Chains A and B, each alone.
Chain A
Amino acid sequence: MAGRLFVRRRDGRIEVRLNDAGREMAREAFGHVLAAEVDPEHDWHASLNAPINPGSDVDDPLAVFNRQHDVTSNVELAVATLNEEFLNDAEAWAWLCSLQVALRAFITAKGLLSADRLEESDEGTRDYIKTLQILLFALADVM
C-alpha cells in the first residue's frame, strides 16, 4: 500500500489520507457497530455485550449502561468525522476504539477466536480482517 494512511502533523492534528474506498470501509464498519448496539438480532450484538464479571450471573447495570453509552459516543463521533481531512486526538481515539470494536465483533460473530480458525476462514473474510488491521495499525502508529 503506497504512502501512510494517517500522518501526525507538526500542529498535533492527524491527517487522514484514506481514499474513498478506505473511508467507505470505515463507514460500513462504524455503521455495523451502531446497528449492533441497538439490535439484539445483529451478528455483532453479542460481542458488544460481553460479560464484565464472568463469575457473576449478572453484570452491574450501571457498568453495562456506561459501556453502551461510551461505545455509542465513540462511534457517533467517528461517523461525524468520517469525511474530515484532519482529526484531533479525541476524534482519532474514537476512530481507533470503533475500528477495534468492529474487528473484534466481526471475528467473534464468525467464531474466529483462534489462529487456526482464522487460517481456515475464506479469503474474503481474511481480506476484511487484514484491511481493518491495516487501518488500526496505521492509526496506532500516530497516537
Chain B
Amino acid sequence: MPSVKPLRVSDETQNATQTATLTERPWNVVVWDDPVTPMSVVVVIFRKIFGYPNNKATQLMLTVHHEGRAIVWSGPLERAQGYCVKLQVAGLLATIEQDS
C-alpha cells in the first residue's frame, strides 16, 4: 500500500474552495433577441451547443423572441463563460451575468 503524506494546507484550501463553490451564486448565460436571426437557426444552435431536445430549444427561442432575452443555462462561471463563447462563435448575441 503506498504511503500517503498528510497535506493539511491543501486540504483546507480545497475545503474552502468547495465551500465557496457551493455558496457562490450561479452565473447565467443570456441570449438576446435581434431582428434578423431566423428562429430555426436559434433552435439548431441551442440543440447543438447544449444538447437540448427540440421542444426545450424551441421554448427558449420563443422566450428570446417574445421577452427580448432568455437565460439558457446557469452554473459555474467557467462553464457559463465557455457556453457564452460557443454561442457567440455561432453568431448569437450572448452574455453572462451573475444570478441576483
Contacts and interface: CB of A to CB of B under 8 A. Distances in A.
Interface in A85-104: 93, 96-104
Name, among B89, B90, B93, the residue most crowded by chain A CB atoms within 10 Å (CB to CB).
B89
Name, among B43, B85, B90, B96, the residue most crowded by chain A CB atoms within 10 Å (CB to CB).
B85
Contact of A133 (B36, B48, B85): B36
A101 B91 contact: yes
B44 A67 contact: no
A107 B81 contact: no
A53 interface: yes
Interface of B: 34-38, 40-41, 43-45, 48, 81-82, 84-86, 88-93, 95-98
Contacts of B48: 93, 143
Nearest to B38: A137
A63 B79 CA distance: 11
Contacts of B86: 70
Contacts of B93: 50, 104
A115 interface: yes
Interface in A47-65: 50-55, 60, 63
B41 A136 contact: yes
Contacts of B91: 97-104
A107 B40 CA distance: 19
A134 to B, nearest CB: 9
A96 B90 contact: yes
Contact of B89 (A51, A55, A67, A133): A67
